[in-house]
Structure 1
Amino acid sequence: MQGFENLPDGLRVVITGYLDHLAVERGTARSTLDSYARDLRRYADYLLGGGISALREVSAEHVASFLAELRQGSRGRPPMAQSSAARALVAARGLHRFAYLEGLTDSDVAREVSPPSPPRRLPKALPVEQVLRLLDSCGGAGVRDLRERALLELLYSSGARISEAVGLDLDDVNTEERTVSLDGKGGRQRLVPVGQPALHALDAYLVRARPTLAIRGRGSPAVFLNSRGTRLSRQSAWNALKSAAQRAGITAEVSPHVLRHSFATHLLEGGADVRVVQELLGHASVATTQVYTLVTVNTLREVYATAHPRAHG
């Protein structure tokens, strides 16, 4: 295969054999083969730069150091993006596994070197002002308007997942205690407080809209009903939110989960303890909740800068 003719036999034979294996036995696409060839050429150059001329001389430390070089850049080459570095390491790991299975090396030294983890995507949250605009866009007195207002107010007030909100039954709502009982993932049930605006919206829907919808059905216990009198689907709830966002003139991507993210972010920005937010969201681990603290880091910096006597030199 072109591009490897000048390599020592201890590297060239294994690399070309691996690429041939991918092409012939695995049917790998040409574009993928070209990417692997470029990555393995870079890997070979890295090994040669360290005085290594045969794959059996490579240790796990060499492979880990190669990954570090990809991420940091060196020898006149800029750092690789995380996804590109991960792809290059996958190519190197595949090469070592092939060599081991073919009996060309005594062990698979790259097996324990893991590709870099993908970056944790920060949850998207709407500013408070946009959330209020969204909720106010459901201000009509029709059956559908009342249902949408109650649904969206509940999603933002409780941080419920969309499946938990449409899964609510009438017995799950306690207006006196101002709580709702949500059935979360893994069968875990949690009691969540609900704010007064959401309770008002729920009451208006239950008194003035739900009976009209219930007449068309067969006595469903669901809080949120569709036009047939049966339980509202998640897709219908998503569509209601999408329509409300359009009416409110919100151009950012909005989904039911965005309201959940906004609920958590706004609580943390208001000073709520992360473990309290964990309980409200129904997360099994606080580590899942802590990603929201990254969203609020700018707010924390601003508070620190204005409140701490030694924040400035």
Structure 2
Amino acid sequence: MSISPFLVEIDRYMLDCSAKGLSTKTLKSYEQTLKLFARFLEETFEIKEVKDVNIEHVRAYIRSIEERGKFQISSNDKPNNYPERRSDYGKPVSKTTIANYVRNIKAFYSHLYNERIIRNNPLKELKNVKPERKAKVMLDDNELKQFFRSFDVTKMDQYRDWIIARLIFDTGARIGELLEVVSSDIDLRGNALLLRKTKSGKQRFVYYSQKTRNHLKSWLAYKDRYTDSPYVFPTNRGTKLRIEGVERSFRLRSRDVGLEVTPHLLRNNFAKRYLINGGDLSTLSRLLGHASVEVTSSIYLDFSDREIMKKYRQHSPLENLDI
């Protein structure tokens, strides 16, 4: 059975995305979205060519996503692993997920147009779906203590993951950025860490506390006794650690103490606490590696009433004057 021209263009696009150094997670998201879209077009409209798509086809696809529910369709002919057993099977697909689908499809068609594979971009006027903004969960002091204490630091892998967790919470770095770090990226004298491989592709520095400096120095000495891996946070075999491995470790540790802590949640908590403690948005935006201050404010200026109360008590004009 021959592959459709639409799928051929998707494969070419994925090769181009891979060459740009996009993360595995991002590549999987792009490919899944586009293959689901291609399958829908062929089954619903008998479309096999990228040039035959128009804006109404995408709108019909969005409606179908909203109607079908989660895990009721696959991007290939292989059955899902018992999706009906999932607690969220058949539930509505979120606006955020739909927004991601639309963004990915539009990026694909922009690529086709820029590469002159199509003469006109039919999706140029398609409006983006506004994603849902969920309030970021703030872990309280006791929950953070419970989480950090859940690691058995006598074991190399848990000691490593404990250091990673503290470093995310102290710097706001993304987990994928930290796993690329080598020893020469660390400035122990200046308490600075160079992130070379970032989501934006631009290198940046993040900074850590004296507490983290002491722990990091101890970890480096410990790690160097047992492996000559160039990575600061390697596997037990000295190879590069995978994001999924750290996420699983955090999930197991936090589950032991009745929490749900992920690397991204720790990054969020760094950002929220940085602002509550009086940090400014402009500096935070640079530390997080965001494209602009507007991006940072749209994500993190969603304080709960309790957080606003705490921030007020720290910065009350009258309370802090001797009058």
In the aligned structure 2, how far is the partner of 1:143 from the partner of 1:240? 12
Please list the CA deviations of residues 75-108 of structure 1 after superposition, one character each: whole Å capped at 9, or x if unmatched: xxxxxxx97xx9xxxxxxxxxxxxxxxxxxxxxx
Shift of 1:261: 0.4
CA gap of 1:211–1:136, structure 2 versus 1, over 3 A, is same
CA gap of 1:185–1:133, structure 2 versus 1, over 3 A, is same
Please list the CA deviations of residues 213-255 of structure 1 after superposition, one character each: whole Å capped at 9, or x if unmatched: x1xxxx43110111111111111111221222123x133x321
In the aligned structure 2, how far is the partner of 1:303 from the partner of 1:234? 33
Q: Is the 8 Å Cα contact of residues 276 and 310 (structure 2) preserved in structure 1?
A: no
Aligned positions, number: 205
Cross-structure match for 2:240: 231
> Which secondary structure state, in structure 2, belongs to the residue aligned with residue 191 of structure 1?
strand
Please say which structure displays the higher CA radius of gyration. 1
In the aligned structure 1, how far is the partner of 2:201 from the partner of 2:248? 26
Please list the CA deviations of residues 124-179 of structure 1 after superposition, one character each: whole Å capped at 9, or x if unmatched: 33223322321222253232232122111111111110101111111111111111
Cross-structure match for 2:272: 265
Residue identity opposite 1:197 in structure 2: K
Cross-structure match for 1:256: 263
Q: Aligned Cα RMSD in Å?
A: 3.4
CA gap of 1:113–1:151, structure 2 versus 1, over 3 A, is closer
Q: How does 1:177-216 map to 2 (within 5 A)?
A: 177-183=190-196, 184-212=198-226, 214=227
Unaligned residue ranges in structure 2 (runs of 5+): 1-42, 47-59, 68-93, 99-123, 319-323
> Which secondary structure state, in structure 1, belongs to the residue aligned with residue 205 of structure 2?
strand
CA gap of 1:305–1:265, structure 2 versus 1, over 3 A, is closer
1:166 to 168, 174, 179: 179
Shift of 1:304: 4.4
Q: Is the 8 Å Cα contact of residues 173 and 180 (structure 1) preserved in structure 2?
A: yes
Cross-structure match for 1:221: 230
Q: Is the 8 Å Cα contact of residues 268 and 296 (structure 1) preserved in structure 2?
A: no
Residue identity opposite 1:264 in structure 2: A
In the aligned structure 2, how far is the partner of 1:305 from the partner of 1:199? 30
Cross-structure match for 1:4: none
Residue identity opposite 1:250 in structure 2: G
CA gap of 1:188–1:114, structure 2 versus 1, over 3 A, is closer
TM (normalized to structure 1)?
Answer: 0.57
> Which secondary structure state, in structure 2, belongs to the residue aligned with residue 222 of structure 1?
coil
In the aligned structure 1, how far is the partner of 2:163 from the partner of 2:126? 51
Q: Is the 8 Å Cα contact of residues 146 and 201 (structure 1) preserved in structure 2?
A: no
Shift of 1:187: 1.6
Cross-structure match for 1:120: 133
Cross-structure match for 1:146: 159
Residue identity opposite 2:191 in structure 1: R
Residue identity opposite 1:153 in structure 2: R
1:285 to 279, 292, 295: 292
> Which secondary structure state, in structure 2, belongs to the residue aligned with residue 199 of structure 1?
helix
Q: How does 1:6-45 map to 2 (within 5 A)?
A: 26=45
Unaligned residue ranges in structure 1 (runs of 5+): 1-23, 36-81, 87-110
Percent of aligned pairs sharing the same letter: 25
Shift of 1:271: 1.1
In the aligned structure 1, how far is the partner of 2:223 from the partner of 2:171? 21
CA gap of 1:228–1:117, structure 2 versus 1, over 3 A, is same
Please list the CA deviations of residues 47-94 of structure 1 after superposition, one character each: whole Å capped at 9, or x if unmatched: xxxxxxxxxxxxxxxxxxxxxxxxxxxxxxxxxxx97xx9xxxxxxxx
CA gap of 1:142–1:119, structure 2 versus 1, over 3 A, is closer
Q: Which runs of 4+ in 1 moved over 6 A?
A: none
Shift of 1:25: 7.2
Shift of 1:198: 2.0
